[in-house]
Amino acid sequence: MRMVNSQYVAEGSVLARPVINSSGRILLQAGIRLTASYIERLKDMGYDILFIEDDRLEDVEFYTTITSQTREAAYKTIENVCKYIESGNETSIKVSSIQETIQEMLNDLLSSDDILGNLTEIQGYDDYTFHHCINTTIIGLVLGIASGYSENKLLELGMGVLMHDIGKIKVPESILNKKTPLLAEEFGEIKHHTTYGFDILRKNNDLSLLSAHIAFQHHERWDGSGYPRGLKGSELHEYGRLAAIADVYEALTSKRVYRNAIEPNEAYEYIISQGNKHFDPQVLEIFKRHIAVYPSGSGVLLSNGQRGNVVKQNSAFPNRPFVRVFFESEKALATPINYNLADYPSIMIVAVDNR
């Protein structure tokens, strides 16, 4: 199985992973042979990347973060919370359902053999906010697990991250989905979503106030340049510091109606470039060690001119994965070459190439 940009998917290719929308509903099952009309329809829906069967990689196992059932349950949880808020019943949110959802996500993550390699999901245009909340929670939980959090802390963290953007329900959709640059007053309204979210969540006594603070603090920055309160350094709660990185990374790697996603390696480099400016240095180190720079299945071009696919993550060196090479420049090799890039310091990945 390999990741292929939909522009390069050939008619007759077989889906190796189902195409799932943000609610967890399966649009196309794995094993479907793609017709030209299927491919065009998926492109129109914003699906840039598909997972395609490839006999050359049949011995390689790729894992997903959470099951489609867990993703669908998470979607429904957020949807139900939104319905309560829209109906004016903010204090009647079923906190127990949020906790159950986070527990299922944790169960999926803790049973995975390859957390590093499985953060890439197929994504189209639909329901960005729900998609973002679910994927940010996955990343946040991965960082929480890597931080050695207890189960109680992971639940507290996950519940807050899943609800971190709930305040956007009070921001006009015309502003949230605006395709042109925001005016100053429009950006000011966007900023209010942190306060709106905190005010909603803290009304529910069954939800930890620390979980509610994630909604309040996920746009704060280590150097005090964030919002809404300009908190700095240790003034930020640890959950807020962790959620800040998860939120930015997921937002950068997700496609929006007004911009394309950037590659995970580019998002990774951006996060690292912020150093001690935007993010807690200790959380940044955890991020560097536990988020895959090049997701499993992605195509890569090497500095020696060879081209292949990432087949396994290297937990000791996330930016130096195992790669199986199939091409020398544009010429197919008779026999693929396997590299553990940690053993070949002179060979670098110079580009993502999902052909």
| CA 139/CA 130 separation, integer angstroms | 14
Residues 313/289, Cβ–Cβ less than 8 Å: no
Higher pLDDT, 129 or 111: 111
Domains 2-57 and 68-290 in one fold? no
| CATH fit for domain 68-290, picks 3.40.50.720, 1.10.3210.10, 3.40.50.150, 3.30.1300.10 | 1.10.3210.10
Nearest to 115 by CA among 66, 57, 49: 66
Is pLDDT of 297 > 70?
yes
**pLDDT score at 48:** 83
CATH architecture of 2-57: Alpha-Beta Complex (3.90)
Mapped onto helix, strand or coil, the DSSP state of residue 147 is coil
Extract the tokens encoding 20.
């799932």
Extract the tokens encoding 207.
């939800």
Is pLDDT of 96 > 60?
yes
The model's pTM:
0.89
Q: If pLDDT is split at 50, 70 and 90, which confidence band does 176 have? A: confident
Is pLDDT of 242 > 90?
yes
**pLDDT score at 46:** 80
Residues 68/20, Cβ–Cβ less than 8 Å: yes
Q: Are strands 331-340 and 322-328 parallel, antiparallel or unpaired?
A: antiparallel
Higher pLDDT, 81 or 124: 81
In this prediction, residues 85-102 reach a mean pLDDT of: 90
User: What are the structural domain ranges in the chain?
Assistant: 2-57, 68-290, 299-352
**pLDDT score at 334:** 95
In this prediction, residues 104-119 reach a mean pLDDT of: 77
**pLDDT score at 112:** 75
**pLDDT score at 122:** 52
| CA 354/CA 297 separation, integer angstroms | 9
Residue that is written with structure tokens 């306060």 in the block: 195
Residue that is written with structure tokens 């973060």 in the block: 65
In this prediction, residues 245-253 reach a mean pLDDT of: 93
Highest mean pLDDT among 61-75, 82-96, 139-153: 139-153
What's the whole-number average pLDDT of the chain?
Answer: 90
Over pLDDT 70: what percentage of the chain?
Answer: 94
| CA 233/CA 246 separation, integer angstroms | 17
